């Protein structure tokens, strides 16, 4: 393998937006799965700030607007030019006339006073952004992501046909800084990379220790077109976040299979031999591909932010660890080559 070239400036940098190498995903600030107090939410943002994180990603979907409101409140203590905000469009929040005290069925522990409605129309994009600006209490959004466009089953093409051109006009007018797409579907992301002039994509859970689906065509396409990649879901919802996953561990918002848990525990055995952990190598792996500008992780406590940043700042895992994982068929050589190349930039061969 030849020496890795230094990454060329991506489109976000060309638009004056600096992101990376780590971003805070703010779904947990919307009470993802369990309640969180406003104080804890604020402390998580402050822990990220103290750890040098300056990009914060949110969405109306997260807690029916709660994540945006809490993020805006927490960032109000900082000067606007010092941080980057990304939020998303595609799910409008409407009043719920049938509300009877129940919690949101979308996985967030919040009262269902609002309901989500798919809307990737030009008008919907503008109204969604207006609402986000108010909740975030800012005068501009740096990066706007089309959120899960393929899940708008009634009209899956509306995002590329109507929402993207609307965002392009807003970008040209200087109302927003940049345009992206965020979803777990590599095929959807690839379509936008190939057919539009997006500045960035956020790929969720498709370039991790246990899933390298994005490596086949999506990441090479982004690298070729200088589209910045924000790699989210790097722990695949939890199976890679613990030292040793157990039965019931989460994987891609569902339950991990017994075979996957066994595979990750075999990885943990190898990590023990080399004095490291699965979460640490998961973060190292997720950042190594040359197309990736930042990894995005969430946190449900300030301590979790600190632990993740300590893992990111720790010494890289030995090259022999990655070779061992490949030899034992625990990870694909596709991703291991980039980790090894980054660890030893003068490396000529994997043999």
Identify the pLDDT of residue 335. Answer: 86
User: What confidence tens digit (pLDDT) does each residue in 183-224 have?
Assistant: 999 999 999 999 999 999 999 999 999 999 999 999 999 999
Identify the pLDDT of residue 263. Answer: 97
Identify the pLDDT of residue 7. Answer: 54
Q: 140 pLDDT exceeds 90?
A: yes
CATH for 11-256+285-315 (3.40.50.300, 3.20.20.100, 1.20.1090.10, 3.30.70.141): 3.20.20.100
Average pLDDT of the segment spanning 239-258: 92
Identify the pLDDT of residue 159. Answer: 98
Q: 225 pLDDT exceeds 50?
A: yes
Q: Which of 142, 218, 147 is nearest to 181 (CA)?
A: 147
Q: Taking the CA atoms of 255, 259, 265 and 270 in sequence, report the sign of the dihedral they define.
A: negative
User: What confidence tens digit (pLDDT) does each residue in 48-96 have?
Assistant: 999 999 999 999 999 999 999 999 999 999 999 999 999 999 999 999 9
Domain locations in the chain as residue ranges: 11-256+285-315
Contact 279, 236 (CB under 8 A): no
Contact 38, 70 (CB under 8 A): yes
Q: 151 pLDDT exceeds 70?
A: yes
Q: Which residue has the tokens 């992501």?
A: 145
**pTM confidence score:** 0.94
List, in order, residues 6 or more apart from 161 with CB less than 8 Å away.
none
Average pLDDT of the segment spanning 242-267: 94
Average pLDDT of the segment spanning 239-248: 94
Of residues 41 and 343, the one with the higher pLDDT is 41
Average pLDDT over the chain reads 94
Beta-strand relationship, 55-57 and 84-89 = parallel
Q: What is the DSSP string of 170-199?
A: HHHTTSEEEEEEEES-HHHHHHHHHHS--S
Which residues are marked as active site?
62
Identify the pLDDT of residue 342. Answer: 81
Q: 314 pLDDT exceeds 70?
A: yes
d(CA 57, CA 112) in angstroms, rounded, equals: 22
% of the chain at pLDDT higher than 90: 90
Rounded to the nearest 10 degrees, what angle do helices 186-195 and 218-225 cross at? Answer: 30
User: How would residue 344 be classed by pLDDT, with cut points 50, 70 and 90?
Assistant: low
Q: 351 pLDDT exceeds 50?
A: no
Q: What is the DSSP string of 33-84?
A: SS---HHHHHHHHHHHHHTT--EEE--TTTTTTHHHHHHHHHHTTS-GGG-E
Identify the pLDDT of residue 244. Answer: 95
């Amino acid at each position: 393998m030849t020496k890795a070239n230094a990454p060329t400036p991506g489109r976000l940098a060309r638009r004056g937006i600096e992101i990376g190498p780590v971003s805070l995903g703010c779904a947990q600030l919307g009470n993802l799965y369990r309640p969180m107090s406003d104080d804890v939410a604020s402390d998580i943002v402050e822990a990220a700030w103290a750890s040098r994180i300056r990009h914060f990603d949110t969405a109306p979907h997260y807690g029916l607007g709660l994540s945006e409101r809490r993020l805006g409140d927490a960032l109000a203590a900082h000067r606007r030019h010092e941080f980057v905000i990304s939020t998303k469009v595609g799910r409008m929040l409407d009043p719920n006339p049938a509300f009877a005290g129940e919690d949101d069925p979308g996985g967030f522990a919040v009262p269902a006073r609002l309901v989500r409605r798919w809307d990737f129309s030009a008008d919907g994009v503008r109204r969604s952004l207006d609402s986000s600006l108010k909740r975030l209490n800012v005068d501009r959004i740096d990066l706007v992501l089309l959120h899960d466009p393929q899940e708008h089953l009634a009209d899956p093409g509306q995002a590329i046909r109507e929402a993207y051109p609307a965002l392009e006009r807003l970008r040209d007018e200087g109302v927003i800084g940049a345009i992206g797409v965020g979803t777990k579907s590599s095929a959807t992301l690839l379509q936008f990379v190939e057919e539009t002039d997006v500045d960035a994509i956020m790929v969720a859970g498709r370039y991790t220790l246990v899933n390298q689906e994005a490596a086949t065509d999506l990441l090479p396409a982004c690298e070729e077109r200088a589209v910045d990649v924000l790699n989210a879901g790097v722990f695949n919802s939890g199976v890679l976040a613990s030292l040793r996953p157990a039965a019931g561990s989460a994987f891609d918002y569902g339950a991990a299979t017994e075979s996957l848990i066994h595979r990750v525990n075999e990885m943990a055995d190898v990590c023990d031999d080399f004095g490291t952990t699965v979460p640490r190598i998961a973060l190292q792996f997720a950042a190594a591909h040359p197309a990736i500008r930042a990894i995005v992780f969430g946190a449900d406590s300030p301590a979790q932010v600190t632990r993740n940043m300590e893992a990111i700042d720790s010494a890289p895992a030995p090259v022999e660890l990655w070779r061992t994982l490949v030899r034992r068929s625990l990870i694909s050589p596709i991703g291991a080559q980039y980790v090894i190349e980054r660890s030893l930039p003068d490396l000529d061969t994997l043999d």
